[in-house]
Amino acid sequence: MAAGIYNTDLTDISLCESTTGFSALGGGGAGLAAGPDFAIQGTNAIDKQVSNALKGIVYDNGSTITLGADEHILIWEICATPGITEIQSLGGVRISIGTATNAYYEWYVNGSDVLPEGGIINYAIYYTGSTADNTVGSPGASPQVFWRSSKC
């Protein structure tokens, strides 16, 4: 049997090899680092310590991204302390995407009640077609900022 051939039209937004374009959500910028511990593609991944507040990592692409019909945004996420996060319905682990840090959609993708042991997960977000759990401001159709966060 011949091996399958797979084609992709995926475009990398960021491989997270350095902290360029990244900032800390909820303070604690000194804890923002690029390191190999959680890398999936490439050498590094961006990580940040958490506390008992909403904390995370924001990436600003520097320009907007035009999405085609039915295109999704894939974001890898790991919460190394899943047992202390809020439950999913209260926003335990979130993916936020928008046109600015004051204009975004937010999806509550996980929590201590859904995945109490944690794990590295690739979330597929349908930016223009799915209902977000939260909307802040008036996000446009072409996103520029992406972040992941956890609420403990």
Give residue-wise pLDDT tens across range 118-147: 778 889 999 988 999 999 999 999 999 999
Give pLDDT tens digits for 52-98.
Answer: 788 888 999 999 999 988 889 999 888 877 888 899 999 999 999 99
Residue type, 72: H
DSSP 8-state code for residue 53: B
Give the span between the Cα atoms of 33 and 48, in whole angstroms.
7
Give pLDDT tens digits for 91-120.
Answer: 999 999 999 999 999 999 999 898 877 778
Q: How large is the average pLDDT for residues 37-65?
A: 86
Give the span between the Cα atoms of 32 and 34, in whole angstroms.
7
Q: What is the pLDDT of residue 81?
A: 78
Q: What is the pLDDT of residue 28?
A: 58
**pTM for the full model?**
0.85
Q: What is the pLDDT of residue 6?
A: 56
88 neighbors 110 (Cβ within 8 angstroms): yes
Tell me the residue ranges of DSSP E strands in 36-151: 45-47, 54-60, 73-78, 93-100, 103-110, 120-125, 134-136, 145-151
Q: Is the pLDDT of residue 29 over 70?
A: no
Q: What is the pLDDT of residue 27?
A: 66
Q: What is the pLDDT of residue 146?
A: 94
Token pair recorded at residue 61? 């692409």
Q: Is the pLDDT of residue 3 over 80?
A: no
